[in-house]
Amino acid sequence: MSSFNLNKVSTRAAKGFNKEKIKAKTVAMLETLSELQNLLFAEAKHSVLVVIQGMDASGKDGLIRNIFGKLNPQGVQVKSFKAPTPEELSHDFLWRIHQHTPAKGMIQLFNRSHYEDILVTRVHKWCDDQLATERMKAINDFESMLVNHNNTHILKFYLHVSPEEQNKRLNERIKEPGKQWKYNEKDFEEAKLWKDYMKAYEDCFTHCNKVPWTIVPSDQNWYKEYIVADQLLQLLKGLNMHYPGLKK
């Protein structure tokens, strides 16, 4: 039984946040992040895994482009997890995930992730409650292993968009030529399952929280990008990294 209620979490910036000031802060943070990423890559003692989850049209692709796209591409990798292939289905559900965990010095982004195996599968009844519970325990153990045995630092973001904003963005994919390539009629069918998805996410946040989640208000892209950039900045600042000296 979930103790988390997404209905009580706003999808918009809190009052008092000025859009132009926040956007300027984000630009400044990106300059510092670029320097810190270079240090992360050079020192090669830590790795960073960024998990990005959210409903369709919550802005995952735009976030990756506008924040992580500003960093050195040599040190950033992105993996988008789609429906499993027959080969992937023949292994345990974490097999395809583990192949893409970050090497030391790297930032790895998961655009959707291992959490799909307790979200979409649960909503569509491909995974019952007992199996979901077992998978959530496996996910906690998997993430703990990455943290404790590979010096991997994990940031998990749920892009919290309102159903009204989602509907607006999905319809833009029909009307706007620059967004029509994103259109998928199945997205509208999935949107009808909103309450089921919220229940599955809430259970996930309650039971897969050894590595904590950040719920990111995502109706306003400028605020969403600021929150994610700030979290990454605070993480990298706290690693006490140093450039290695001359090799002898």
**Token digits of residue 233:** 């900045």
In the DSSP assignment, the letter for residue 181 is G
Residue 2: the pLDDT is 61
CATH class in words for 18-237? alpha beta
pLDDT in tens, 57-89: 999 999 999 999 999 999 999 999 999 999 999
- Bridge partners, residue 48, by sequence: 107, 153
Contact status, residue 62 vs residue 221, Cβ threshold 8 Å = yes
**Token digits of residue 175:** 């009307």
Phi, psi (degrees; rounded to nearest 5) at 2: -80, 140
Percent of the chain with pLDDT over 90: 96
pLDDT in tens, 223-233: 999 999 999 99
Report the chain's mean pLDDT, rounded to a whole number: 96
Residue 204: the pLDDT is 97
**For the chain, which residues make up each domain, given as ranges?**
18-237
Which residue's structure tokens are 């904003």? 165
Contact status, residue 80 vs residue 111, Cβ threshold 8 Å = yes
Report the SS3 class of residue 217: strand
State CA 218 to chain mean position distance.
12
CA-to-CA separations, 206 to 1, 55, 211, in angstroms, rounded:
9, 18, 11
Total-model pTM? 0.96
